[in-house]
């Protein structure tokens, strides 16, 4: 395994020309706004104070330099605060000019084999129509720009709620992570297409309810496809004129715990919003989980090849960390057997970085069920970063399929149906960590536990 300590921000090599070409020169899209610049700092700077003071979007690391995207208006304040940085935008543009034109190819338009919102809508509708006995399309809610947030339910009786375990597979909290849309969508297609051919799949579909939510952030996804490839947040117009809330900092569990795991600044890439569940997208997910007693969940992201579990808000062990680690390790081993690709396993807060108000902490903290963030390939920017090639889609899906099936079958084997309030690990209650006392669980689920 590769040590995660070396990846607290990102691990990269100096060979990032292909990434830069995609950043600056993706055909047909205004990929780098003229209101922003790319700047670099020495790795020796105090990152904690820098992140607390300014809304920086980490881009890459190369040698002894760390690169960020930042709005131009922050350049003078950063300089006046004593930070020594280099302006890199023009330098990186020159690198692009040296790159042979046509060396990258996206088939089928801007997003190639990846799905835009309209293409995803068509794909989900086709599954529901073509496999109606075992698939039904629901709309738990709508986005800010009135796009549907789809939930595809796969089960032997998809129109009714049965006393069966439920597993949720979610993608695209962050708009630029296109591969996170494809993996749950392809898992859905695999389940319905193999239902009548594979006894294992038939048993899973007959015995459980699998909910596929490929895009939590449909507005951001389309903005990433058609306007700015590296867009991350939703499309909320904030009071200061900036756009976007980081949906994976907008859930109620430990929302706003500190300004390291999320930011109160609207311009920040990890802006947590004005309050828990302030965004209709996270509200839709909240309602889906409140109305359906799920037994486990996976949230797909990219990139870094890892399987992470709570806690993310602080470097503290969850009460069930041993079990979470065991489940994650088994999933990682199953992934490795397919393509020989290693996914590192660990507590989110110590393995990657601090995150408060994120989906996985919320699901585990409130519903007391196993919840994982799977950071899909690649490992780092030298292997593509957010820009997975189209040829990678199928192999990334295939290596993640056995892990998802394993988690579903584990839930099936531990399900205690008909016993209200039972979790997959029985009656054991979750010990709340510091600052996690919950007096009213209904208020907690509605995001009102902290002011």
Active site positions, annotated: 375
CA distance 390 to 107: 8
Element at 69 (helix H, strand E): strand 65-71
Query: Look-up: residue for tokens 């189209």?
Result: 390
Q: What is the DSSP letter of 237?
A: B
Nearest Cα neighbor of 211 from 146, 158, 162 is 158
Q: What angle do CA 182, 261, 296 make, to 5 degrees?
A: 45
Nearest Cα neighbor of 259 from 331, 176, 328, 356 is 356
Nearest Cα neighbor of 216 from 286, 162, 158 is 286
Nearest Cα neighbor of 181 from 213, 220, 211 is 213
Residue 148: both structure tokens together? 């549907």
Give the burial class of 445: count Cβ atoms within 10 A of its Cβ; 0-12 exposed, 13-18 middle, 19 or more buried: buried
Q: What is the DSSP letter of 342?
A: -
């Amino acid at each position: 395994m590769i040590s995660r300590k070396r990846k607290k921000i990102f691990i990269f090599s100096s060979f990032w020309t292909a990434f830069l070409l995609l950043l600056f020169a993706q055909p047909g899209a205004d990929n780098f706004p003229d209101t922003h610049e790319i700047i670099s700092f020495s790795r020796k700077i105090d990152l904690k104070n820098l992140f607390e003071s300014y809304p920086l979007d980490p881009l890459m690391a190369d040698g002894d330099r760390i690169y960020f995207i930042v709005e131009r208006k922050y350049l003078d304040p950063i300089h006046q605060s004593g930070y020594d940085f280099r302006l890199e935008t023009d330098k990186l543009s020159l690198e692009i000019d040296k790159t042979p034109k046509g060396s990258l190819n996206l088939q089928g338009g801007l997003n190639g084999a990846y799905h835009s919102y309209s293409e995803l809508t068509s794909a989900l509708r086709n599954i529901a129509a073509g496999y109606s006995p075992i698939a039904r399309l629901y709309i738990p809610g709508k986005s800010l720009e009135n796009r549907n947030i789809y939930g595809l339910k796969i089960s032997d009786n998809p129109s009714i709620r049965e006393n069966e375990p439920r597993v949720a597979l979610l993608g695209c909290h962050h708009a630029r992570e296109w591969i996170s849309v494809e993996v749950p969508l392809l898992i859905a297609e695999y389940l319905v297409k193999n239902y009548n051919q594979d006894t294992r799949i038939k048993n899973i579909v007959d015995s459980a309810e699998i909910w596929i939510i490929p895009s939590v952030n449909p507005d951001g996804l389309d903005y990433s496809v058609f306007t700015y490839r590296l867009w991350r947040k939703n499309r909320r117009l904030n009071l200061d004129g900036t756009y976007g809330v980081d949906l994976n900092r907008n859930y109620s569990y430990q929302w706003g715990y500190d300004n390291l795991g999320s930011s109160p600044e609207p311009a920040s890439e990890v802006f947590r919003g004005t309050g828990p569940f302030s965004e209709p997208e996270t509200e839709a997910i909240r309602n889906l989980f409140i109305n359906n007693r799920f037994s486990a969940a996976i949230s797909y992201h990219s990139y870094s090849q890892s399987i992470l579990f709570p806690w993310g808000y602080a470097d503290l062990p969850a009460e069930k960390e041993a079990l979470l680690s065991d489940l994650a390790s088994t999933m990682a081993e199953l992934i490795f057997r397919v393509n020989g690709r290693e996914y590192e396993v660990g507590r989110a807060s110590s393995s990657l970085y601090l995150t408060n108000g994120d989906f996985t902490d919320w699901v585990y903290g409130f519903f007391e069920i196993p919840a994982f963030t799977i950071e899909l390939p690649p490992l780092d920017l030298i292997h593509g970063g957010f820009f997975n090639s189209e040829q990678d889609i199928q192999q990334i899906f295939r290596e993640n399929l056995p892990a998802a099936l394993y988690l579903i079958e584990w839930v099936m084997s531990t399900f205690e149906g008909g016993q209200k309030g039972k979790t997959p690990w029985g009656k054991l209650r979750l010990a709340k960590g510091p600052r996690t006392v919950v007096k009213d669980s209904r208020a907690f689920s509605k995001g009102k536990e902290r002011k």
